[in-house]
Amino acid sequence: MSAGTVRYAGYLFILPYLTFLGLFIAYPLGFAVWMSFYDYFFAAPGAVVERPFVGLENYRALILEDGIFHTTLGNIAVFIAVNVPLTTVLAIVLATALNARLPGRTFFRTSYYLPYVTASVAIIAVWGYLFFSDGLVNRVLGDLAPEPSWLVNRTWAMIVVALLVTWKNLGYYVLLYLAALQNIPRQLYEAAEVDGAGVLAKFRHITIPGLRPATVLVVILSTIIGANLFTEPYLLTNGGGPENQTLSPVLYMYQKGIEQADAGYAAAIGVTLSIGVLTIAAVQRFALERD
Amino acid sequence: MAVKARKPGFSPRLVRVLGQVLGFAALCLGAFLFLFPFYYMVVGALQERPDPSIAGAFPGPDELSLVNFQQINERVPLLQALLNSLIYTGGVILGTLTIGILAGYALSRLRWRGRELVFNIVLLTLIVPFQLLMIPMYVMVVRTWGLGDTYLGMILPFLVNSTAVFVFRQFFLQIPEEMLDAARIDGAGELRILTQIVLPLSRPAILTAGLITFIGPWNEFLWPFLVTKQQELQPLAVALANYISTVAASTANPFGAILAGAVVLAIPAVALFVIFQRYFVQSETSAGLKE
């Protein structure tokens, strides 16, 4: 064996993966940006169509004139405003509770993680049954049930969608926090106890700061996942209803790019959205990491 | 409680016990909220005509039947849909294991120029949002390559995932260098070392990567939904979603058949998770924190 053969093997072994990355990540990425500068329409196979270069026209129309796109941004802002803080707080509370020596820890951990491994379509089926106008939630609430009912209510529909996604993914974040809790040194708590700190003081001054790196990750991941929202408004609220109040940017991109075959415009939505999400993630990281 | 605990007159021991009781209560409430929808899914699927009243959530054994499963099977042939899900998921797992193992080995145990660069690229791909790739990928796979309504078209964009590459890389790094060197001195090639020494030691990593890869395509909706228009080729998640969106408007109480389909869709992933949960938990936490 010589060093030469090992080096050669390295390239050979990484080649299939690199080919995949090139073909299914790098190329579509470039294609998306390219397409967004063209009036790129689908056509029947064999038909020759003009796909003229339009410069920034797709972006201009999208950002300045497209009221529906603006609605989707407002919707996703509502979604994130409900989903991200709720996810973070509940995940910290449940992870801290799970970290104590209590009976049935495996059972609890399993139940919280169950929705995360279950298909969205199956979960939407049962949430639709729970929240439809004559469903169990309204039967329990009686006169307190909102009118019109949850999924057809302009205010509540997006909040229910946000609660569903919080519920579905929470177990994953609980596990992230649980792992992060193991990294906080025991001695910090012991020293605080010597100084007479109570349970809440320790939680505030040791646990919360110790979990900060995990919190950065949880906030960024849940924001990115939220911005990708598609299946829930497509299925649970019947294609983004009521009156587009749960229409998400990705669902709108699907309507434009695939239902209406305007791929160039849809690509511009994708590029704008991605730049927005990555910017927000960078801001979140900056804000959470400094004191 | 927060205010009470700070008042003088409560011994630290009492506060601690109180905290544990509260923590346990929070965990129990959480477990109920997480498990109830699953219970309700099964109950609704087994009621001939799902009863959304409060009493209907607790039916007697004589009120249960399998007629909903028969009904959904007439609209969405379950065996065919499950077979499609299985082929789709199996193809993805096969691709992920072969390409991922080769890449993980190259990134951990082989030395070659550019390794660090490639590893950083792999990290970078984790932040590329799928919504950006959706439209160009659709144009490429369905329109240009003509792979609409094929298993290959469903599988290709998911052929390997970065999380699996990470799991393999981390696991292979733990194997002692001396074992590999000994084989190299005996003149074994790298492929032989990988298949005969490294892989037999890596069963837990293979199981972990296989399991986390399983839940991806099994539960995936958006991509196979874009690729398949013929029902004969649709995975169960897509076929069920199409049934939900077409039947929801037309039938008064369509929930029985929908919930029966949801149960069939949920069971394989939930069962795998409950049986192998230790492998899931390890991978998710370690992969998550390494990002």
- The answer to whether A119 contacts B269, with C-beta atoms less than 8 Å apart, is yes
Asked whether residue B55 is domain-assigned, the answer is: no
Q: What are phi and psi of B9, to 5 degrees?
A: 105, -15
Question: Three-class SS string for A39-91?
Answer: CCECCCCCCCCCCCECCCHHHHHHHHHCHHHHHHHHHHHHHHHHHHHHHHHHH
Asked whether residue B5 is domain-assigned, the answer is: no
Asked whether residue B20 is domain-assigned, the answer is: no
Asked whether residue B115 is domain-assigned, the answer is: yes
Separation CA B286–CA B281 (nearest Å)? 9
Please give the domain boundaries of chain A with CATH numbers for all domains. Answer: 61-289 (1.10.3720.10)
- The answer to whether A35 contacts B57, with C-beta atoms less than 8 Å apart, is no
Q: Report the pLDDT averaged over residues A167-178.
A: 94
Write out the two tokens for A111: 């139940």
Chain B residue numbers with beta carbons less than 8 Å from the beta carbon of A270 are 131-135
Asked whether residue B228 is domain-assigned, the answer is: yes
Asked whether residue B66 is domain-assigned, the answer is: no
pLDDT, averaged across chain B: 88
Is the per-residue pLDDT at B7 higher than 90? no
Write out the two tokens for B31: 């477990």
- Does the N-terminal peptide bond of residue B176 adopt cis geometry, omega within 30 degrees of 0? no
Reference B209, options B91, B100, B89, B88; nearest CA is B100
Instruction: Kindly report whether the global pTM for this prediction surpasses the value 0.80.
Output: yes
Asked whether residue B40 is domain-assigned, the answer is: no
- The answer to whether A172 contacts B221, with C-beta atoms less than 8 Å apart, is no
Under 8 Å between Cβ of B276 and B211: yes
State the pLDDT at residue B1.
41
Quick: pLDDT tens for B25-45: 989 999 999 999 999 999 999
Report the share of chain A in percent with pLDDT over 90: 77
Write out the two tokens for A151: 């999924």
State the pLDDT at residue B230.
94
CATH number for the domain that contains residue B166? 1.10.3720.10
Instruction: Please state the domain count of chain B.
Output: 1
Range of the domain at B286: 77-238+268-290
Nearest CB to B112; choose among A10, A111, A125: A10
State the pLDDT at residue A1.
44
Report the share of chain B in percent with pLDDT over 70: 90
Name the pLDDT band for B278 (thresholds 50, 70, 90): confident
Residue to substitute from B27, B108, B229, interface A, most A β-carbons within 10 A = B27
Is the per-residue pLDDT at B16 higher than 80? no
Is B102's Cβ below 8 Å from some Cβ in A?
Answer: yes
Which ipTM was obtained for this model?
Answer: 0.92
